Structure 1
Amino acid sequence: MKKETVANGARLLLGASLIYAGISHLTFARKEFQAQVPDWVPLKKDDTVVYSGVAEIALGSALLVAPKKYRPTVGTIAAAFFVAVFPGNISQYVNKRSAFGLDTDAKRLTRLFFQPALVYWAWKSTRASAKKA
């Protein structure tokens, strides 16, 4: 299988996953996402969840439809978003807040190691197809 095909599949899967996550922020998982908002964020927790949900839907949509020449830029923005929300995952761990089945310190700690994978996924999946644009 060609690298470009794998990268495109990964990009499309990430885009769809972000849209799903964004919708869940706005609907059925809204309360659980509030557990990840650090106390130092100067907005109401619910507002933060809504804004991040809208951002995820926008990023996911951009990953799905951006022309090849813009995909690296979209991937960079998505990777930066994953870095920006990482303090929420740290806050969930430090404050021992249970959400999404992360109900032990071990589970919350393990979750922290997946964020770099998301950053890499956003970065890598948007570069292969752009080389031919």
Structure 2
Amino acid sequence: MTFLRQEFQAQVPNWIPFSSDFVVLASGLVEITLGLAMVFATKYKVYVGLALAVFYVLVFPGNIAQYTNGIDAFGLDTDLKRLIRLFFQPLLILWALWSSGALLALKRRK
């Protein structure tokens, strides 16, 4: 059994061609897997960081949908709170890249 599925499902944009329940379960599985990989797959940490950053980019439309559709979930019950949350997603992406060494690896490639 999973918790808060309805709140997560409320964030899945209507244009996603899969059921919101499937998207929530699949994205949760991916997120847990990537989190465990960051801890245990240290040999591949740069690649895991890149994958985590891509994952955060892919779930960003859900945050945008929550804002544009005025959906209350996770204590985000005003447009201002939902808008402020949007600015934290790029920081989360940068954090995944920085903490995994992927940001430095990308700079070195140039």
TM-score > 0.5 by shorter chain:
yes
Match of 1:106 in 2: 80
1:77 aligns with 2:51: yes
Structure 1 gaps of 5+ residues are 1-25
Match of 2:39 among 55, 64, 76: 64
User: Structure 2, unaligned stretches of length 5 or more?
Assistant: 106-110
Q: Where in structure 2 are the equivalents of 1:28-43 lying within 5 Å?
A: 28-43=3-18
1:87 aligned residue: 61
AA at the equivalent of 2:41: A
Deviation digits for residues 11-65 of structure 1, max 9, x if unmatched?
A: xxxxxxxxxxxxxxx6111110011100000011111101101111111110110
TM-score w.r.t. length of structure 1: 0.74
**Structure-1 residue corresponding to 2:108:** none
Match of 1:53 in 2: 28
- Over the aligned positions, Cα root-mean-square deviation in angstroms equals 1.6
CA distance in 2, matches of 1:30, 1:60: 19
Match of 2:91 in 1: 117
Residue-by-residue CA offset, 1:52-89 (whole Å, 9 max, x unaligned): 01111111110110123x11110000000000100000
Q: What count of residue pairs does the alignment treat as equivalent?
A: 104
User: 1:67, 1:97 → 2: CA distance?
Assistant: 38
Write the distance in 1 (CA, Å) between the matches of 2:10 and 2:86. Answer: 15
TM-score normalised by length of structure 2: 0.89
Match of 2:75, SS state, is coil
The amino acid that maps onto 1:80 is V
- Deviation >2 Å, runs of 4+: none
Give the percent of matched residue pairs that are identical in Structure 1 and Structure 2: 57
